[in-house]
Each structure stands twice: as C-alpha cells, then as structure tokens.
Amino acid sequence: METQTDLLFRALADPTRRALFERLCREGEQTVGALTATAGVSQPAVSKHLAALKAAGLVADRHEGRQTHYSPRTAALGPLADWTKEMARFWEGRFDALEDLLSRMDQ
C-alpha cells in the first residue's frame, strides 16, 4: 500500500519537483506558465510535477479563467518535521550529535 508519508517523501525526492515547491514557498502563488518559464523542462513536465505535489498535499491549485494558480501548503510538511524529530529522539543520548540537531530545530 501507498501511505501518505511515502507519497510525501517521494514527492520531495525529485530535484526538479523540489525546486518547484521551493519557488512557490519563496515567491508565493504562481501560474503554470510562470513556473514553466524558468523550470528548465517542458510545460507538460511541470504540470505532471505539480500533480505529484498536489497528490502529496504540498500544493493547492486555483482555477481562474484559463490559467491555474498553484500555491504552497506548508502544513503538509508537518509529518516530515514529526518524522525527523522522532528519529532524532529515538537515538537520544547515544553517542550522537543530537544536541546540535535539536538546537537547530528549536530555531
């Protein structure tokens, strides 16, 4: 079976896809055309990546006339943050640089 966590990790594994998500986080809502302009791949490729991000809950789409606007949904990063922290905790206190990691996460 395909869990939601699997979907999330797989969505973020591809560099092109991750770059698209990063752009949305930095610059906010964008149309497919705007994203395609600087993505380095074809428009259909961008559409497919956006569909994958949407399936993982990482972006939302909004239709306006003939163009589609995509925006980031950082709430979807929650499970990722939880997982990271959980892994760090399990290994707590065992010859590892846990303190460094936690200090970075606590801002």
Partner DNA sequence: CTCACTCATAACTCACCGGTTATAGAAATC
Partner DNA sequence: GATTTCTATAACCGGTGAGTTATGAGTGAG
Q: What is the DSSP letter of 16?
A: H
- Residues 48-87 interacting with its own copies (rule: CB under 8 A): 72-75, 77-78, 80-82, 84-85, 87
Please tell me the total number of residues recorded for the chain in this structure. 107
CA dist 39 and 13 (Å) reads 16
Contacts of 12 (CB under 8 A, 6+ apart): 18, 21, 56, 58, 80
CB of 53 to its own copies, least distance (A): 12
Residue 64 and residue 71 in contact, taking contact as beta carbons nearer than 8 Å: no
CA dist 17 and 26 (Å) reads 14
Q: In the stretch 34-73, what mask flags binding to DNA with x, by CB under 7 A?
A: --x----xxxxxxxxxxxx--------x---xxxx-----
Q: In the stretch 21-40, what mask flags binding to DNA with x, by CB under 7 A?
A: ----------xxx--x----
Residues near its own copies (CB under 8 A) are: 3, 6, 9-10, 12-13, 15, 18, 21-22, 25-26, 28, 72-75, 77-78, 80-82, 84-85, 87-88, 90-91, 94, 96-98, 100-101, 104-107
